[in-house]
């Protein structure tokens, strides 16, 4: 093969290599973005300072200084827990006893919202959930009514409880005890 032919083949190979690098790094970044954001949410400085690992924590009311999660709603009170099923199931319970809107939502490690229950669906009853990892056995108490078992799509994830507040100053004494009924504890 001539030197010219060798050079052209090397050039083509290099171009394909560069193009593959662009495409693969693009796809990898798109795939990794939600995982990385969730990791920061679950294990970042704020999560550590609030001590949310398998434990409920109660965020301060949303203000302009709230900069941990984009688009925070000033009309909601947030309570959180970063669940970790690597050591076994996690028990989630709450009994807000409010007639205004509240919900408990569960998110997988890739940010998918795989479960939500609100005040209307709870119908005045306490929330009592056992969260288990895929392929693991639930504890015996998970099958006892009114407990409900949920299989999480990932071993780690995030719980977000929302309580509606349209006038926090007037509602504080009702809402704060109500959201502090949230429990998120390992079995």
Q: Which residues bind other proteins (CB under 8 A)?
A: 14, 17-19, 21-31, 33-34, 37-38, 41, 62-64, 66-67, 69-75, 101, 103, 105, 107-108, 110-114, 116, 118, 120, 153, 158, 160, 164, 166-167
Most distant CA pair in the chain: distance in Å?
85
CB nearer to other proteins: pick between 62 and 149: 62
CB of 74 to other proteins, least distance (A): 4
Phi-psi region of 143 (alpha: psi -120 to 50; beta: other; left: phi over 0): alpha
Closest CA to 96 of 159, 174, 160, 167: 174
Distance CA 175, CA 149 (A): 27
The distance of closest approach from Cβ of residue 107 to other proteins in the complex, given in angstroms and rounded to an integer, is 6
Q: Which secondary structure element, helix H or strand E, spans residue 26, and what is its range?
A: helix 3-43
- Residue 41 or 142: the one with the smaller Cβ distance to other proteins is 41
Q: Which is nearer to other proteins, 58 or 101 (CB)?
A: 101
Q: What is the Cα–Cα distance from 110 to 122, expressed in whole angstroms?
A: 26
Pick from 52, 56, 63, 130: nearest CA to 90: 130
- Cβ of residue 139: shortest distance to other proteins, in angstroms? 25
For the bound state, the minimum distance from the C-beta of residue 1 to other proteins, rounded and expressed in Å, comes to: 19
Q: How far is the CB of 91 from other proteins (least distance, A)?
A: 22
Q: Which is nearer to other proteins, 46 or 187 (CB)?
A: 46
| Alpha carbon separation from 163 to 98, 173, 180 (Å, rounded) | 9, 13, 11
Contact 148, 130 (CB under 8 A): yes
């Amino acid at each position: 093969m001539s030197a010219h032919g060798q050079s052209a083949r090397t050039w083509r190979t290099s171009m394909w290599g560069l193009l593959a690098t662009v495409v693969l790094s693009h796809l990898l970044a798109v795939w990794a973005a939600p995982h990385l954001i969730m990791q920061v949410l679950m294990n970042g400085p704020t999560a550590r300072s609030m001590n949310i690992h398998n434990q409920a924590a109660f965020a301060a009311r949303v203000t302009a200084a709230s900069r941990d999660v984009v688009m925070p709603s000033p009309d909601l009170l947030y309570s959180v827990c970063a669940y970790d099923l690597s050591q076994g199931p996690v028990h989630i319970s709450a009994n807000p006893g409010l007639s205004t809107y509240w919900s408990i939502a569960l998110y997988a490690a890739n940010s998918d919202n795989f479960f939500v229950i609100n005040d209307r669906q709870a119908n005045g009853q306490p929330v009592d959930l056992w969260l288990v990892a895929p392929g693991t056995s639930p504890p015996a108490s998970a099958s006892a009514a009114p407990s409900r078992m949920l299989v999480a799509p990932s071993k780690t994830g995030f719980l977000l409880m929302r309580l509606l507040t349209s006038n926090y100053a007037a509602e504080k004494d009702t809402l704060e005890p109500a959201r502090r009924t949230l429990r998120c504890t390992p079995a």
